[in-house]
Amino acid sequence: MKKITLTLIKADIGGYVGHSASHPEIIALAREELLRSNLLIDSYVTACGDDLQLIMTHWEGVGNEDIHKLAWDVFLKCAEKAREMKLYGAGQDLLKTSFSGNLRGMGPGVAEMSFEERKSEPVLIFMADKTEPGAWNLPLYKIFADPFNTPGLIIDPKMHEGFAFEVLDVMEDKSAMLKCPEHLYDLLVLIGSPGRYVIKNVYKNKPKMIAATSTTSRLSLIAGRYVGKDDPALIVRAQHGLPAVGEILEAFSFPHLVEGWMRGSHNGPLMPVRVKDAHPARFDGPPRVMCLGFQIRNGKLGVPRDMFDDPSFDLARQKANEVAEFLRRHGPFEPHRLSSDVMEYTTLPQILKELEHKFKASEHKRIKQKLKRLELEKKVKKSHAFK
C-alpha cells in the first residue's frame, strides 16, 4: 500500500493585535494558496495565537522539496500582506531570504510523518503558542510510557511491547533512540531538561511504526539572537495498537509548567483551550495548546474536530489560571522569570552588557588581589637575589 504523508508546517507571519492572534485575512490567503496547488491531496489552514498553521496531506514523502517550497512561498506571500497590514512582527519566523531545498534551519517549524493508512486513521494535531518544543516532553512521556495515564500499555496486548523515543539534543544537534519500558529511567534523565532535550519522534516497538512527531526548531539557536518563542506543534496517531484518543488527551488534563509566556522569558502553565480561545492575552499568555482531530480517509483530512471543546477540561483551565495568577505575583523574580542560564537566549544579555561598567570588585576581593600581588612581588625579588 502506498504511504501518505501528513505534513504540518507553521510560522509566525505577523500578530493581530500584538502577539495575540492571526488576522483572518492572512489565514484566508494561505488557504487560497494551498487550494491552488496540485501537489496536495488535501489541506487545512488554521492558527494558534500568532502562528499560521499549514496542515497538508500528499504522496511526496517526508522532507520533500516541492512541499516545503510550497509552504515557504505561502509564508512569503502572507508575510508580504502582513507588512501591508502593519501586523506586529510581520514575517519574524522567516529567518532566510531564499529557499534552499528544505525548511530546516530557515525558521518555520516542521512536523511530518509518512504511513500506510489503516482501516481507520484518527490523528490528533496539537498546536501551542508562547512556549518551546520541550513543552511536549511531559505529555508525550505520559501518553506513550506512563500506565497511570495510558492503561493500554498494560491491558492492551498490542501496546504491551512499548514505544521508542527519539530524543534530540537541540544544543549539539544530535539524537538518541531510547526504547521503553527498558530505558525508561534514561529517558527521564534527558527529557526532564526540556530546554535542551526534546522528543522529536515516538515509534511503536512491535511492529515498528511512527506514532508521533513534533516540531523541534529553536529559533534563537538558528538566528543567533532572540526572535520570539518557538511555539511548537505535534502530530499523534491514535487507536489500533496506539493509545486511544482519550488517553492522548488525558495527558493535557494537567497544565504543567513550560518556558515561554511574556517575551519568552517566563514559566507558565500550558492551558488546553478551545480553538476560539487560542489567542493568548494576559501577559501575552498564559501559554496554551489547542488540538484538532482528523479522521483521515484516502488521504483526505475531512472536517476537523475541536478536541478541547469539552467541559471536562474546564478544571485544567481553572487550575492553569490559578497557577498563572500565583506566578504573576512573583513579578520579575524567579521562578516566574526563567533562570539566568536560560535567559542567556533572550534579550537580557543586552541589558547586562550595559550594566558591566557599574560593577566593581568588593573590598574583600580587592584585599585578596593586593595580597596576591605582594606575594608575587616577593617571589620576583627572591628570584633576582638568587641570581
Q: Are 89 and 333 in contact (CB under 8 A)?
A: no
Place of cell 527498558: 182
Residue 313 phi/psi, 5-degree rounding, is: -95, 5
AA letter at 174: K
Strands (DSSP E) along the chain, which ranges?
4-12, 42-48, 51-58, 109-115, 121-129, 163-169, 174-179, 197-204, 209-214, 233-237, 257-260, 266-269, 271-272, 288-296, 305-306
Q: Are 16 and 23 in contact (CB under 8 A)?
A: yes
300 C-beta neighbours (distance < 10 Å), count: 12
* Catalytic positions: 12, 226, 229
Distance from the Cα of residue 149 to its chain's centroid: 22
204 strand-pairing partners? 163, 209
**Interior/surface letters 139-157, b for 16+ CB within 10 angstroms, e for the rest:** bbbbbbbbeebbebbeeee
Q: Are 37 and 111 in contact (CB under 8 A)?
A: no
Q: Are 301 and 292 in contact (CB under 8 A)?
A: no
Helix and strand numbers, DSSP H then E, in the chain: 11, 15
